[in-house]
């Protein structure tokens, strides 16, 4: 019978290390995904798509003449943070938006694609 401690390449050790490696993959992915999100560029108001949709990082500065959807009492309640397309954390200042993939928008921003969150 052989001593497993003497053989650094034992089957048991290989299985343990493999299991640890498999368990570490989701954690590593989560950490990489979180840091990538934090480093995503902010949508520039001068971006052609942003201009077309009237995106502003401060919703109170939206052009209500050009985008009447934002005017009035109902419009005053519209912010990226309560839009169905915004996927940022509830307490985040910036977060991802389905309209601008790979970039983040201000939680207090607005654009003409605003849709109320369901529920």
72: left (phi over 0), alpha (psi -120 to 50) or beta: left
- Same domain for 26 and 47? no
Query: Are residues 112 and 61 both part of a single domain?
Result: yes
Question: Which of the pair, 43 or 1, is modelled with greater confidence?
Answer: 43
Q: How confident is the model at residue 100 (pLDDT cuts 50, 70, 90)?
A: very high
For residue 5, report the phi and psi dihedrals to the nearest 5 degrees: -75, -25
pLDDT for res 1: 52
- Confidence at residue 118, expressed as pLDDT on a 0 to 100 scale: 86
SS3 category, 36: helix
Judgement on whether residues 55 and 101 belong to the same structural domain of the protein: yes
What pLDDT sits at residue 75? 96
**Cα distance between residue 115 and residue 79, in whole Å:** 10
Give the pLDDT confidence score for residue 12 in this predicted structure. 75
How does pLDDT run across 30-63, given as a tens digit for each residue?
555 544 445 899 999 999 999 999 999 999 999 9
106 and 59 in one domain? yes
Same domain (yes/no): 47, 91: yes
Confidence class for position 29, pLDDT limits 50, 70, 90: low
Give the per-residue pLDDT at 5: 57
- The whole-angstrom distance between residue 47's C-alpha and the CA centroid of its chain comes to 19
- Kindly state whether residues 75 and 18 are assigned to the same domain: no
Structural domain count of the chain: 2
What percent of the chain shows pLDDT beyond 90? 65
Q: pTM score, two decimals?
A: 0.68
Is 24 in the same domain as 61? Answer: no
Q: Which domain holds residue 62?
A: 41-119
């Amino acid at each position: 019978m052989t001593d497993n401690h003497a053989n650094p390449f034992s089957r048991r050790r290989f299985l343990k290390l493999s299991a640890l490696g498999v368990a570490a993959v989701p954690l590593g992915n989560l950490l990489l995904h979180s840091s990538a999100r934090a480093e995503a560029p902010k949508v520039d108001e001068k971006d052609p798509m942003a201009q077309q949709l009237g995106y502003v990082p401060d919703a109170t500065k939206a052009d209500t003449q050009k985008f009447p959807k934002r005017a009035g009492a109902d419009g005053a309640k519209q912010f990226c943070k309560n839009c169905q397309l915004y996927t940022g954390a509830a307490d985040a200042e910036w977060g991802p938006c389905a309209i601008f993939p790979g970039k983040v928008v201000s939680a207090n921003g607005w654009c003409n694609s605003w849709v109320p969150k369901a529920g």
